[in-house]
């Protein structure tokens, strides 16, 4: 019983931002989570970016940062896009 409680407590403390978020950046849909970023038909593996203002991810040649509610910043392939959140 103690093992089950310990495992449950560990899972509860390690799960952060398990959701997927949607933004429009440069007229194109961006889908981003803790592990994947999809933009203009390409999917990039990403990881948490501790340097982001509020929440962000980064990967090889790509980074996304959400600074305030509903606003984000995408940098990909040397280009910069301002992003706004959308809900489905």
* pLDDT one-digit tens code per residue, 14-29: 445 468 999 999 999 9
Q: Is residue 11 part of a domain?
A: no
pLDDT at 8: 41
Can you give the residue range of the structural domain that contains 76? Answer: 17-85
**Mean of pLDDT values over 21-41:** 96
Q: Is residue 51 part of a domain?
A: yes
Number of domains into which the chain is organized: 1
Alpha-carbon distances, residue 7 vs 1, 13, 29, 52, 83 (angstroms): 10, 10, 37, 29, 38
Q: Is residue 8 part of a domain?
A: no
Q: Is residue 25 part of a domain?
A: yes
Q: Is residue 79 part of a domain?
A: yes
Q: Is residue 52 part of a domain?
A: yes
**Mean of pLDDT values over 68-81:** 92
**How much is the pTM?**
0.74
Alpha-carbon distance 55 to 37, whole Å? 14
Q: Is residue 34 part of a domain?
A: yes
Angle at 70 between CA 24 and CA 88, to 5 degrees: 60
Structure tokens at 57: 């991810």
Please classify residue 64 by burial: count the beta carbons closer than 10 Å to its beta carbon, then call 0-12 exposed, 13-18 middle and 19+ buried: buried
Structure tokens at 88: 């489905």
Rounded to a whole number, what is the distance in angstroms from the first to the last CA of the chain?
41
């Amino acid at each position: 019983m103690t093992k089950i409680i310990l495992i449950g407590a560990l899972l509860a403390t390690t799960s952060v931002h398990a959701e997927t978020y949607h933004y429009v950046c440069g007229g194109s849909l961006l889908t981003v989570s803790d592990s994947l970023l999809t933009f203009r038909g390409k999917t990039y593996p990403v990881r948490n970016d501790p340097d982001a203002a509020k929440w962000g991810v980064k990967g090889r040649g790509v980074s996304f940062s959400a600074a305030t509610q509903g606003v984000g910043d995408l940098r990909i392939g040397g280009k910069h896009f301002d992003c706004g959140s959308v809900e489905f």
